[in-house]
Structure 1
Amino acid sequence: MTQSVPPAQPPAAQQPAEQPLQPQSQPVDATPSSAQQSAEGAPYAPQPGAVPPPPAPGAPYGAAPAPAPVRNNLGLGLVAAFVAAVVAGGVYGAIIGLTKHEIGWAAVGVGFLVGLAAGRLGGRNPVLPVASAVLSLGSVYVGQLVGEAMIGAKETPLSFSELFFQHFDVLQEAWKADADPLTFVFFAIAAYVAFTGARKAAL
């Protein structure tokens, strides 16, 4: 019985080697991405997680501007308060002489003007509020005397200047006779407004 012999196979060395798969080349996009553009435009761009450099000497971060200098001129404040007291007293006296009544808002205005002048020009000196209160008391008192002189000049043959400068003692007696509790309330109002006004105006 005959056996069929399989045909001879060529040796493994003679078999053609399988060609390795070549990776397919991807098309190159000629347009650079936004990340590449930012990297090219900023060669020293900070990396994620990088610590910022310390501030340069003399230029700290968030440096606050220097505060404005505090005004503290006692002499100028006292002069301003005195001038305001004289002017306000004259106006207050004229109002009394014309109306023949003491008006509360006029006393408030005297204290306000005196305190405002002292605080704005004198600054935060602690003497100025106290001085403003004292000067406002004097201003209200002189204003009431001016009002008495104006009323007396209308009712007597004497003029205002004669009553105020030549018969000042008579004028004071007339003021004492006409004074009532409301008169002293006006004093307190003017002093309080002048004290608080000088403190607020200096801020």
Structure 2
Amino acid sequence: MSQSIPSPQPPQPGPVDAAPYAEQAPAGAPYPPQQGAFAGQPGTFAPPAPAGPARSNLALGVVAAVAAAALYGLVIGATKHEIGYAAVGVGFVVGLAAGKAGGRNPALPVISAVVALGSVYIGQLVGEAMIGAKAVHMGFSEVFFQHFDVVQQAWKQDADPLTFLFFAIAAFAAFSGAKKAAA
């Protein structure tokens, strides 16, 4: 009696060859577990896989804040005006650096907003010192570091509602940038 041998069927395309793992797949699971994954019994708790290394590079955030403040101060000193787009840039750079360095820490957007406020303030003081140094024919470092009280008094006299609007814009940009960069 002659038996016919069925021709081999090509494997069906799919995400995983389920045959070796069919016994381990919990009932109702659409796909078998990945090779090496813990299948466990249905209804049991399997601890989550460890996440990648935690990102906490404070130096990156500090460098970004100082660099943004310096650039903002240079813009103010060169133009003798506060520029709103520059404040947005300061906030966004601080927030972006914070999000990249700190990951998804929920406090990070708030912290980056506070750091952005400090960066904008320092940037405005740098701008005031540059303008004052040109007016009195002194060096910037001498005015900024040796006469810091005079620089702060000049900032207080020049501060107007627009100055504080730039603070708010920078804080909002930092908050938003940190949330987007961490996502």
Question: What are the within-5 Å matches in structure 2 for residues 157-176 of structure 1?
Answer: 157-176=137-156
Do 1:70 and 1:124's aligned partners in 2 also have CA atoms closer than 8 Å?
A: no
Aligned to 1:110: 90
The equivalent position to 1:199 in structure 2, one of 163, 172, 179, is 179
Aligned to 1:124: 104
Greater C-alpha radius of gyration? 1
RMSD over aligned Cα, in angstroms? 2.9
Shift of 1:80: 2.1
Do 1:70 and 1:123's aligned partners in 2 also have CA atoms closer than 8 Å?
A: no
Separation in 1, partners of 2:50, 2:177: 21
Question: What are the within-5 Å matches in structure 2 for residues 72-111 of structure 1?
Answer: 72-73=54-55, 75-76=56-57, 78-111=58-91
Shift of 1:162: 1.0
Shift of 1:159: 1.5
Instruction: Give 5+ residue unaligned stretches, structure 1.
Output: 1-36, 44-52
Do 1:71 and 1:123's aligned partners in 2 also have CA atoms closer than 8 Å?
A: no
Alpha-carbon displacement from aligned partner over 1:159-191 (angstroms, at most 9, x marks no partner): 111110000000000001111100000000000
Shift of 1:68: 8.9
Aligned to 1:150: 130
Q: Which runs of 4+ in 1 moved over 6 A?
A: 64-68
Separation in 2, partners of 1:180, 1:57: 69
Aligned to 1:41: 7
TM-score under structure 1 length normalisation: 0.68
Aligned to 2:51: 69
Paired residue secondary structure (1:40): coil
- Aligned pairs, number: 157
TM-score under structure 2 length normalisation: 0.75
Do 1:118 and 1:198's aligned partners in 2 also have CA atoms closer than 8 Å?
A: yes
Do 1:85 and 1:136's aligned partners in 2 also have CA atoms closer than 8 Å?
A: yes
